[in-house]
Amino acid sequence: MKAAVIVFPGSNCDRDCKVAIERSTGAHVDMVWHGDTALPDGVDLIVLPGGFSYGDYLRCGAMAALSPVMGEVRAAAERGVATVGICNGFQILCEAGMLPGALLRNEKLKYVCKQVDLEVTNAQTRFTAGYAGRRQVTLTVGNGEGNFFADEPTLERLEGEGQIVFRYLDNPNGSSRGVAGIVNAKGNVLGVMPHPDRAFEPELGSADGAILFQSALASA
């Protein structure tokens, strides 16, 4: 099993993602610089990590979405490769048009950093299959712009098609319909605001994040 973590200038959870994937799945993880124009051969999982790519200039994720490597990420996702954007990675996927909607400034204008309980809204995606039978998981959020927004027709579609994967039980940032994570229509691109990479061992307060990486790679 092979995973790739994309490193943008200003990413700060890239190492966390590597360690989290290695320890929870045993997969080999390559770090891929944003300026590269190729991904490792036979990659099964691509992760866009959290952080402040390009210093959040212009809009969170806007510059990173235009990075050279994103052409390859988009092509791989179109081929069906499992792709996960965590936090800033979620913002990048929205800015790249690979996921619908956008992430706005948090409703209370505060950076929120805490453990959150999530409802597993759809446990039938390739990223959440390992949560089957569980309604609730615990991860950690750390965001200032995690307030998911999409227009009503888009929200209706996401809801109707089962593309809302995680929902906050106690909405920390004002997200529309409590959205914490969504998948694309094809189901192989996941954007999630809370960090599975900060909750992959009991010592971190929760090991629920490990299941997400395990599911993503088991489905490859």
Partner 1 sequence: MKAIVHVFLKPGVLDVQGKAVEQALHGLGWGGVSGVRVGRTIEFDLAGADAAAAEAEVKAMCDKLLANTVIESYRVEVA
How many CB atoms within 10 Å of residue 37? 10
Report 51-70 residues binding partner 1 (CB under 8 A).
58-59, 62, 66
Q: For partner 1, which residue of 149, 167, 201, 219 counts as binding (CB under 8 A)?
A: 149
Residue 102 binds partner 1, judged by CB under 8 A: yes
Q: Which of 18, 16, 87, 67 is nearest to 46 (CA)?
A: 18
**Residue 8 contacts residue 67 (beta carbons within 8 Å):** yes
Q: How far apart are CA 88 and CA 94, in angstroms?
A: 10
Which one of 13, 34, 60, 195 is the catalytic residue?
195
Which one of 13, 17, 60, 87 is the catalytic residue?
87
Residue 177 binds partner 1, judged by CB under 8 A: no
User: DSSP alpha helices (H): ranges in 64-165?
Assistant: 69-78, 88-95, 152-160
From residue 186, give the alpha-carbon distance in Å to each of 3, 42, 118, 182: 20, 20, 23, 11
Told to judge if 17 belongs to the known catalytic residues of this protein, a careful annotator would answer: no
Residue 150 binds partner 1, judged by CB under 8 A: yes
Q: How far apart are CA 209 and CA 185, in angstroms?
A: 23
Nearer to partner 1, 83 or 175 (CB): 175
Q: For partner 1, which residue of 22, 36, 107, 119 counts as binding (CB under 8 A)?
A: 107
Residue 183 binds partner 1, judged by CB under 8 A: no
Nearer to partner 1, 60 or 216 (CB): 60
Told to judge if 34 belongs to the known catalytic residues of this protein, a careful annotator would answer: no
CA 68 to chain centre: 20
How many CB atoms within 10 Å of residue 87? 30
**Residue 193 contacts residue 117 (beta carbons within 8 Å):** no
Q: For partner 1, which residue of 50, 101, 142, 181 counts as binding (CB under 8 A)?
A: 101
Report the length, in residues, of the chain: 220
Residue 30 binds partner 1, judged by CB under 8 A: no
Residue 108 binds partner 1, judged by CB under 8 A: yes
Q: How far is the CB of 101 from partner 1 (least distance, A)?
A: 7
Structure tokens at 25: 């799945």
Q: How far apart are CA 2 and CA 149, in angstroms?
A: 33
Residue 113 binds partner 1, judged by CB under 8 A: no
Report 68-97 residues binding partner 1 (CB under 8 A).
94-95
Task: Name the site residues for partner 1 (rule: CB under 8 A).
Answer: 58-59, 62, 66, 94-95, 100-102, 104-109, 149-151, 174
Q: Looking at the annotation, which residues are catalytic?
A: 87, 195
